[in-house]
Structure 1
Amino acid sequence: MARADKSRHLHKMTGNTVADFKKDLGRSRLYVIPHSDIPLPSTSLPTATSTTGPTPMNEEPPQHSEAALTIQNDSNNSLAETLDPEEWQNAGTPEVYYRRRPLDPTSEEVNRSSMDNFLIAADSDEEEDEDFVPHDLASDDPFSDEMDIVTIIKMFREKHLTDGQKLTVIIRRRKLLESAIKAIKRPTFCWTTTPHIEFVGEEADDLGGPQREFFRLLMKEVQGSFGIFEGKPGQVFMTYDQAAIEHQKYFLAGNLVAWSIVHGGPSIKCLDPTLFQLMCGQEARLEEFDWSVIPDVEIHSKLQKLQECKTSDDLVSIKQILGDWIADCGIPQIFNARVEDIPKIYGNVVKHCIFLRSAKPIQQFTEGVNSFGNLWDVVTKNWIAFLPLFTNMQEPLSKAAFRCLLTYNYSTRGSNQREAEEETIYCWEQVLNMIEDKSSDLTYEDLLVFITGADEVPTLGFSSKPSVDFFTQEDGQRRLPYSSTCAMILYLPRGLSEEGELHAMLSQCVRECVGFGKV
């Protein structure tokens, strides 16, 4: 990418975001410079004609020639007439020419930058102003351009979170959702401070592990037991519950989701993708919506009949049987509709069923998210980046992905302890194979939770790589593997030679662990 200065020379642009390029570009045109040679056709030099757009240019000319570019318009035809056909060759368009004069190896031109090989015609309509910065309504918002989710959340945290301050949050594991709601309702609650999670009756100092555990379990509670979602797991819709609206449950759910996202935790990851698009103000392809995912089974047959309406006789039947219902969905035009109108009517009915009917709960939920630093505004402006946080796009962890997360803290090579550790790791690898072969009731997510407190890699990543360390079994005792979720270390016993024994130990740890410091 390049821009032209007042001297009509091109300068390469650098930037990582759209905003960077807009700022650097100013009023100049944007020129695209290919990274590979453009073959030069053997044509005679034609008369130049006008152009209004950017033209491809060759950044790295062949060794035997030096490329230059002139862009012409109607008022600059005289320049084309002055070009020597022996020196200039047309590139296949009337506006672009390449200088084919052999370079003198002793010439200073050999050492020129490749950007100096390009020249813009003097009266091209460049409006270069080096001090000009384009401004639009969104330019004051650092999140207005599409960015990756990690950058967005990091910028949001830098803007809002308070460094060095912590807020102690007391959680009763058996009443986790209730404990969390009580915490955020306290007058002293401040979402910008780092939550320090204390599980009642459990021995743990929150250096990261309890917080990861808390937000993971909290998001599951919000999805499953809060009563504001309905539908298939991983593809849910908002319920319409007047009592829940009156008690601000949707607003509280938005608070809890925002709280988790802001502090590096997961989100709900369960919204139907079409619903999420509509919530973000996007147009969705509702004519192709799968009616079977709607929770209300009474609506299934109605939508199915409407979608299958293909003939005039079908339409007459639809008007007689479903006309009043469709009109109540906000589409009274059904009674004057033609067959070709049915796809649009179907889409409008779907929109009513999954979005407009629950407009108040949705509004309350998004207001709850927005009450934490206008986070929902950031979501809507970067909705594609937030898709993995609000919809079910997560793939199960593979063996390869899980193994890449771990490092191993071996003893010195050649020592007896190292030999015993390698024996254990061989059994560990066999256990991982059992999971991959589905001959184990364990999953890689189970092991990751046991090691880190999280069932997936957090959006902002782990602060360090989870690791495997070792301990020596005392004679006559059977000590189970254990972990430190804060340090993200799994401790395995040295010298295990049977993968079945290690598998049984890990299963017992994962299934019977009931909290920090409890097995």
Structure 2
Amino acid sequence: MKRTRCEGEEELETNTNSKEICELCKLSDDCPSKYGEKITLKHHNLTVHYFCLLMSSGVYQRGDEDEGIYGFLVEDIKREIRRSSRLACTVCKKKGASVGCNIKSCRKVVHLPCGIQEQFIFQFTGQFPSFCREHCPTQTNSQPSCPSTPLSCSICLEFVEPVLSYTVLKCPCCHSSWFHRDCVQHQAYSAALFFFRCTICNNKDKFQQEMLRMGIHIPERDASWELEENAYGELLQVYQRCDALKCISHKGRKYSTQEGKWEILRCNFCGSNGTHRKCASLKLFETKWVCDVCRPAANGNGKRIIYCLVLLFCVAPWSPEKRHFIGLSISVHSRSSLQRNTPGEILHTLASQISKHQFMSVVVRKDGVFKAALELLRQADFDPHHSLKVTFPDDEEQTNDMNNGNLQRFPRLLIQDLQNSVLFEGPENKKNLALNSQAVQEDFYFDAGCIIALSLIHGGPPLGFFSEALYKCLFNFPRDSHLTRRQFVIRDAQSVKDLKKAVSSASDYLEVAGCLRQINSLSDKQPLVKDIVNFHLVTRMQLPLKRFRDGLNTLGLFEHIQMFPEIFSDLFCYPPAKISAHTMANLFFVQFSDNEEKKKKEIITEGFWRQYLHDCEEGRCATSLEDILIFATSKDIVPAMGFNPNPSVSFVHSLSSVGTVPERQPCYNKIVLPVATTYEIFKKHLEYAVCQYTLMQTI
């Protein structure tokens, strides 16, 4: 049985030399992670890679660790070199192949580097067997992932095709971890035996056994960071910066003294935020301070809080480099803590970054809401963490109620304008990004992504107009794409002659796309169409898509979309279902009085309310369900993040037998219904109030 050497043992008569050639693989490469340490015995004029020696089929460790090369005797090594010199590599056809497939009936022999190239699997355990591509061990996936879900490597976070193969591996213990082979090998080489484990489920034993079986080398030493001198030096540095909304120090936010009013105190909980005593109005004897992020938890109100350390929540005002700074909202939502959350809950968490005390003014003129939004984004002091104060042309006097209504109205109109802009093309509710040269020059794609993020987080409606192809392109995952006219002609060609004619007519376009090729048979059609679709939807749109993603990451939104693409797809790709009477009845929470006499009357009125909703749905009323929703909440559709607070119905008892008109409280998403004795009176008053409000909105 072969054995690996232990790191740190004395290396007798050995040294490394990058110019020496390995006697087994005939390469001079010095890459320890790939070929192992390159060792030279000066007295014997012998140089080998350690892995080439371990994997050679005809040599074994017959000596002690201090003999030869870690137990491989010099005579045995030379004998193996002579043996392999008679064997031709099945890959490069050159002599010197020392590594053979462990299956006795298989005659494939290779050099170690050729075996890596040919996808051999080398097991660094037991007898150190090697297996060719036909006989190598494979993995099975007991719970295959949904093919429509774009996955990422759990180490490098880049896209990974969820199909098990030589280059794609999976943890045997959990069903959410996928790895590129190169990534997991690099991780193993860095973490080594004592720290190498699954990055998702943290399993060590089963994970290491499976990785060894699949040919991953795990060094028997400390992790690389344990061997590096002063590797954790930066942890000895404490946070030294004032993060108050308004720092009053004339010497800057980083100025600090040992004591006194300009001493910087760090958060007593997270230590990641700081403030001058003076900036936080702290007394000289006070030594403890809690930042805004940790204060809800410190006060015991943090049961519903998912820890989200947003750097920009309590830092200095917006810097001029907004385009590079806009995505720096650093959140440490763990995937497990957010796993059960809905998009609305995630959007609520992101909305907590918005200050309720600082405002950005949006003035909507006759040229439309989209132009007003662009002017807002172009402001030098634009900060997405500020609340919005929206003014429309017909606003004579801005009140809190009017501003609340404008805040509901603005995102809805903004998304409608964006959907119909030159930035998108295609049928309704199935839009793709359009390539527009002016939009590229003006960076409108970034603005569009930013507008969508702000709309969703500020309580705007679901989008519902993205095509599935566009949504998947956000993750570099295009599939089932719509074809253009040129592609239809090529795809529908039924003969080689028709195919050649279609290719010839589109030759200019195909040449620009890099897809122009010689057509020999109909089998060339499908790869050609696939390449054209890839160019049309991905390659030519790389810059617009990148800028669109950058804008969409405003306040950290796109990071969460990447983590949970499935639950967000409904917001982007599918229009919301038409509201029904049943949905409306469940949407509004009914608040009854504590007084029993009043409650009996309110229960009767609540029955009128439900009957009125059904009549609206059946078209027997002058108002629609959407009109009622607008009357109560100023919104004609349930926002992407849901309502906050939840819509409610309360009652008012009138002394008059005729009753009073229903009232709206949109700030609280509340409608106040007068208690009525008959359904006819109830319907008359509610219809009058809703119709009057609808009429005023259209004037």
* TM-score over 0.5 (shorter chain): yes
Query: Could you say which residue in structure 1 is the equivalent of 2:264?
Result: none
Query: Could you say which residue in structure 2 is the equivalent of 1:492?
Result: 673
Query: Could you say which residue in structure 2 is the equivalent of 1:216?
Result: 412
Greater relative contact order (CA < 8 Å, ≥ 6 in sequence):
1
CA shift for structure 1 position 479: 6.2
Distance across 2 between alignment mates of 1:306 and 1:188: 51
Q: Deviations over 1:349-378 (max 9, x none)?
A: 3344444444443333333334x3554454
Q: Deviations over 1:296-322 (max 9, x none)?
A: xxx44x433333234435424433444
Q: Deviations over 1:165-200 (max 9, x none)?
A: 421434448643333333333333211233355664
Distance across 2 between alignment mates of 1:381 and 1:362: 18
Query: 1:408-447 maps to which residues of 2 (within 5 A)?
Result: 408-411=590-593, 415=597, 418=599, 421-437=602-618, 443-447=624-628
Query: Could you say which residue in structure 1 is the equivalent of 2:480?
Result: 285
How many residues are treated as equivalent by the alignment?
390
Query: 1:96-135 maps to which residues of 2 (within 5 A)?
Result: none
* Partner SS for 1:319: helix
2:659·2:674 contact (CA, 8 Å) conserved in 1?
no
- Which ranges of structure 2 fall in alignment gaps of 5 or more residues? 1-173, 179-196, 226-329
Name the CA shift for 1:144/1:306 in 2 (closer, same or farther; >3 Å).
farther
1:399 to 563, 573, 581: 581
Name the CA shift for 1:394/1:494 in 2 (closer, same or farther; >3 Å).
same
Distance across 2 between alignment mates of 1:205 and 1:506: 17
2:628·2:690 contact (CA, 8 Å) conserved in 1?
no
1:150·1:459 contact (CA, 8 Å) conserved in 2?
yes
Query: Could you say which residue in structure 2 is the equivalent of 1:273?
Result: 468
Query: Could you say which residue in structure 1 is the equivalent of 2:642?
Result: 461
Residues 1:241 and 2:436 aligned together: yes
2:652·2:674 contact (CA, 8 Å) conserved in 1?
yes
Q: Deviations over 1:22-47 (max 9, x none)?
A: 466341337xxxxxxxxxxxxxxxxx
2:391·2:403 contact (CA, 8 Å) conserved in 1?
no
Residues 1:185 and 2:369 aligned together: no
CA shift for structure 1 position 507: 5.2
Which amino acid in structure 2 is aligned with residue 363 of structure 1?
K
Name the CA shift for 1:503/1:154 in 2 (closer, same or farther; >3 Å).
closer
2:566 to 361, 381, 384: 384
- Which ranges of structure 1 fall in alignment gaps of 5 or more residues? 1-14, 31-51, 55-72, 74-124, 133-139, 292-298
1:501 to 658, 664, 684: 684
1:307 to 477, 491, 502: 491
Distance across 1 between alignment mates of 2:692 and 2:514: 55
Distance across 1 between alignment mates of 2:521 and 2:683: 67
1:471·1:493 contact (CA, 8 Å) conserved in 2?
yes
2:548 to 365, 369, 392: 365
Distance across 2 between alignment mates of 1:221 and 1:251: 16
Which amino acid in structure 1 is aligned with residue 516 of structure 2?
P
Seq. identity, %: 19
Distance across 2 between alignment mates of 1:369 and 1:167: 21
CA shift for structure 1 position 472: 5.6
Distance across 2 between alignment mates of 1:21 and 1:198: 53
* Partner SS for 2:671: strand
1:281·1:380 contact (CA, 8 Å) conserved in 2?
no
Query: Could you say which residue in structure 2 is the equivalent of 1:452?
Result: 633
* Partner SS for 1:384: helix
Name the CA shift for 1:144/1:322 in 2 (closer, same or farther; >3 Å).
farther
Query: Could you say which residue in structure 2 is the equivalent of 1:318?
Result: 502
Residues 1:25 and 2:221 aligned together: no
Distance across 2 between alignment mates of 1:479 and 1:357: 62
1:162·1:193 contact (CA, 8 Å) conserved in 2?
yes
Q: Which has the larger radius of gyration?
A: 2
1:198·1:204 contact (CA, 8 Å) conserved in 2?
no
Residues 1:345 and 2:528 aligned together: yes
Query: Could you say which residue in structure 2 is the equivalent of 1:232?
Result: 427
Name the CA shift for 1:450/1:181 in 2 (closer, same or farther; >3 Å).
farther
Which amino acid in structure 1 is aligned with residue 573 of structure 2?
T
2:455 to 245, 249, 260: 260
Name the CA shift for 1:197/1:471 in 2 (closer, same or farther; >3 Å).
farther
Distance across 1 between alignment mates of 2:451 and 2:492: 41
CA shift for structure 1 position 164: 5.5
1:167 to 359, 368, 382: 359
Distance across 1 between alignment mates of 2:636 and 2:530: 37
Name the CA shift for 1:180/1:480 in 2 (closer, same or farther; >3 Å).
farther
Q: Deviations over 1:102-127 (max 9, x none)?
A: xxxxxxxxxxxxxxxxxxxxxxx9x9
Distance across 2 between alignment mates of 1:509 and 1:233: 32
CA shift for structure 1 position 273: 1.2
Query: Could you say which residue in structure 2 is the equivalent of 1:194?
Result: 387
Name the CA shift for 1:485/1:324 in 2 (closer, same or farther; >3 Å).
same
Which amino acid in structure 1 is aligned with residue 592 of structure 2?
Y
CA shift for structure 1 position 466: 1.0
Which amino acid in structure 1 is aligned with residue 551 of structure 2?
G
Distance across 2 between alignment mates of 1:354 and 1:403: 43
* Partner SS for 1:367: helix
* Partner SS for 1:184: helix
Which amino acid in structure 1 is aligned with residue 522 of structure 2?
V
Name the CA shift for 1:476/1:438 in 2 (closer, same or farther; >3 Å).
closer
Residues 1:203 and 2:399 aligned together: yes
* Partner SS for 1:401: helix
* Partner SS for 2:697: coil
Distance across 1 between alignment mates of 2:647 and 2:348: 22
Distance across 2 between alignment mates of 1:151 and 1:414: 36
Distance across 2 between alignment mates of 1:374 and 1:317: 49
Q: Deviations over 1:391-425 (max 9, x none)?
A: 2252222332222111223345653x556545543
Query: 1:507-518 maps to which residues of 2 (within 5 A)?
Result: 508-509=691-692, 511-514=694-697
CA shift for structure 1 position 242: 2.4
* Partner SS for 1:285: coil
Distance across 1 between alignment mates of 2:630 and 2:476: 35
1:427·1:497 contact (CA, 8 Å) conserved in 2?
yes
